[in-house]
A and B are shown apart, each in its own frame.
Chain A
Amino acid sequence: MRLFIDFVPLLLWMGLVTALVIVMLLASWVLRPHVLQNSEKTSTYECGEEPLGPARISFPYSYIIYTVLFLVVDVMGAFMWLYAVSALRTSVFVVWQVVVFAAVIMAAVMFVLKILPKAQMTGPEVVALYEAAKEQATGLHSEG
C-alpha cells in the first residue's frame, strides 16, 4: 500500500473544486448585465469617497517584523507537531529537548517584542522629521 493512494480523494476533490470555480465564473458571466465599462465603473470602491491614487500604497517598513514572527512561530509549530504525534511524549529527555528548543525561539520572540517599540517611529519623531524636511525645502526654495 503506497502512500499516495491515501491522497487520491484529495486529488479528486481538487478537480471538483477547480470545476466548481470555473462553473461559478461562467455562470456569473452569463447572468450579469453587460454594460459599458468606463473608468468610473472599474475604479476602486471606497465607501462614499472619491478614490485617491492606486490601492497599493506603502506602509511603514517595521510592520514586516510581524510576518517574520509568524514565520518563526510557524517553523516552531511544525517541529513541535512532529513531537506531539509521536510516542516520545512521555520521554523525559525528549521533553527537556523540546523545552530548550522552544525556550531559544521564545527568547528571540520576547526580545523582538521588547525592542520593537524602540525600532518604530514615534509620533513626535515623525513630526520633527517632517518639520526639518519642510524647513530645508523652504530654505532651498528661497535660495533658488
Chain B
Amino acid sequence: MVPLSWYMVLALILIGMGAYGMVSKRNLIRILISAEIMANGVNIALIALALYGPFFTFTAQALVILVIAVAAAETALAMVLMLLYHRRYRTVDLGIPVTRTEEVS
C-alpha cells in the first residue's frame, strides 16, 4: 500500500503550485485555473486522510463531493463575471489602470 506521506506530498505540491499561480499570474482565467488546481490538491489530501484514518466514515467523501459541486457553481459565476470585466475594461488582465471614463472619452 502506498504510504500516506506520498499522497500528502503530492497534495502539498499541487497546493504550492496553485499558490504560485495565484500570486504571479495576471490573467484572470489563469488565476481561476490556479484556484482549481489548489482545490484538487485539497481533495486528494481529504480522500487520503479518510482512507488511512483509524476508522472509516463517509464524511470526507461527502465533503469532497460538496467541494466539487461548489467549484462548479463558482466557476460558472466566475466566468460570467469575467465576461462583465471584459465588457467594462476590454481585457482580462489584472492591474491595468484603465477606467470606464477613459474608454468613453
Contact = CB atoms under 8 A, between A and B. Distances in A.
Tell me if chains A and B make direct contact, with any CB pair below 8 A: yes
Interface of A: 61, 64, 68, 71-72, 74-75
Contact of B80 (A64, A72, A74, A75): A64
Nearest to A69: B76
A71 B87 contact: no
7 contacts: A61-B87, A64-B80, A68-B80, A71-B72, A72-B72, A72-B76, A75-B72
Contacts, number: 17
Q: From DSSP, what is the main secondary structure of chain A's interface residues?
A: helix
B69 interface: yes
A71 B76 contact: yes
Q: From DSSP, what is the main secondary structure of chain B's interface residues?
A: helix
A24 B57 CA distance: 47
Interface in B43-95: 69, 72-73, 75-76, 79-80, 83, 87
Nearest to B77: A68
Interface residues of B, number: 9
Given A71-B72, A75-B69, A75-B72, A64 B79 contact: yes
A61 B83 contact: yes
Interface of B: 69, 72-73, 75-76, 79-80, 83, 87
Given A61-B83, A61-B87, A68 B69 contact: no
A72 B79 CA distance: 14
A64 B86 CA distance: 14
Nearest to B87: A61
A75 B87 CA distance: 29
Nearest to B80: A64
Contacts of B72: 71-72, 74-75
Nearest to B75: A71
A80 to B, nearest CB: 13
Given A68-B76, A71-B75, A74-B72, 14 more contacts: A61-B83, A61-B87, A64-B79, A64-B80, A64-B83, A68-B79, A68-B80, A71-B72, A71-B76, A72-B72, A72-B73, A72-B76, A75-B69, A75-B72
A64 B87 CA distance: 14
A68 B76 CA distance: 6
Contacts of B75: 71
